[in-house]
Amino acid sequence: MRCILPPDLLYRVLETATDLQTRLSAIATLALDARFRLTRAESAARAGGRTARPVTFARVGGYPQRIVYDQKHDQRQTPGTIARAEGQPEATDVPINQAYDGLGRTYTYYWEVFQRDSIDGQGMPLLGLVHYASNYGNAFWDNAGHMFFGDGDGILLKQTTAGIDVIGHELTHGVTQHEANLTYSGQSGALNESISDVFGIQVKQMALGQTAETSDWLIGADVVGSALQPALRSMKAPGTANPHDRQPANTDHYVLGGDVHVNSGIPNRAFYVMATTLGGNPWSAAGPIWYAALTDPALNPDASFTEFARLTLKHAERTFGTSSHEVQAVQAGWADAKVAL
């Protein structure tokens, strides 16, 4: 299971929060998350990577296949009642429409930038399950093709369908699963989380017409509740997103044995520096370099930061030339994060 609100952050809230309601919210979310985290981890270990891609025929691509379900606060992980399907008019329920639009914007990003037909590259339907559980303060991708949205409790998270970057982040876990299936621990796990942030923020930037200069580079700013203001993570300044944020910005402060959501700040900072060095639309050059590295057959499931960084440099050199501004930007990003090339 890949949640937008990680367990390490929830535990830090428990350690530092002084008011009872905030602590109870963290406990409730942790308890619900624990019910299915193990089974999802086992599912990810059994399947994934390039060899797991389905083979489909007669699919032209260029349009999503969305179905949004209303879970009506049920905790079962099977789809509930169909609330809006592809091509249908807006529903009266705002979160249903937000999920529908966010799934579409993520599809549009991957299709228009990379000609990737959905999460698996083969037109996989995008299934959103909205109003999951009661005041559930999280959102997650379950490795089986479903994205679950909690309504939030207002303390940790608000309505999770409101975050375009959150939706892009979670669906990108599916892209990573189908491409490299990065092991969800250590540096490869931190890369897994960072890659979701990298493409999640680009989905938002493209949807809102934001450049590297005008983007706030904050993850989850539209969904955090009162205890986690102003955001879940900052790609620009890891460790400063909220009072509980402990992300390092470079390998000098790498947390040995740390949660993957913590150390993901290091490659996040590298991408931010590269994208802002290049300027303009991050999806024009910076994003394609990262995507080429993610989809490179040489990327191993247990890749380190250095191994991934070297792949980004390789693709920047191949695409733009060894003396190009793009290559210099890649080098500057990883140097800032103190990752050796």
User: What is the reported pLDDT for 144?
Assistant: 80
User: What is the reported pLDDT for 94?
Assistant: 98
- State the span(s) of the chain assigned CATH 1.10.390.10: 191-336
Whole-prediction pTM value?
A: 0.89
As its CATH architecture, domain 191-336 has Orthogonal Bundle (1.10)
Annotated catalytic residue, options 169, 173, 244, 261: 261
Annotated catalytic residue, options 170, 179, 193, 326: 170
* Cis status of the peptide bond prior to 267, with omega within 30 of 0: no
The pair of structure tokens assigned to 120 is 């698996």
* Alpha-carbon separation of residue 132 from 1, 160, 268 (angstroms): 15, 10, 29
Look up 86 and say whether it is catalytic.
no
- State the span(s) of the chain assigned CATH 3.10.170.10: 2-37+51-179
Which three-class secondary structure state does DSSP give residue 233? strand
Assign domain 2-37+51-179 to a CATH class.
alpha beta
Look up 131 and say whether it is catalytic.
no
Of 21, 36, 10, whose CA–CA distance to 132 is shortest? Answer: 36
Calculate the CA 77 to chain-centre distance: 20
- Per-residue pLDDT tens listing for the chain (341 residues): 567 777 777 667 766 777 767 766 666 666 566 554 444 444 444 456 766 555 555 567 899 999 999 999 999 889 999 999 999 999 999 999 999 999 999 999 999 999 999 999 999 999 999 999 999 989 998 878 899 999 999 999 999 999 999 999 999 999 999 999 999 999 999 999 999 999 999 999 999 999 999 999 999 999 999 999 999 999 999 999 999 999 999 999 999 999 999 999 999 999 999 999 999 999 999 999 999 999 999 999 999 999 999 999 999 999 999 999 999 999 999 999 999 99
User: What is the reported pLDDT for 52?
Assistant: 57
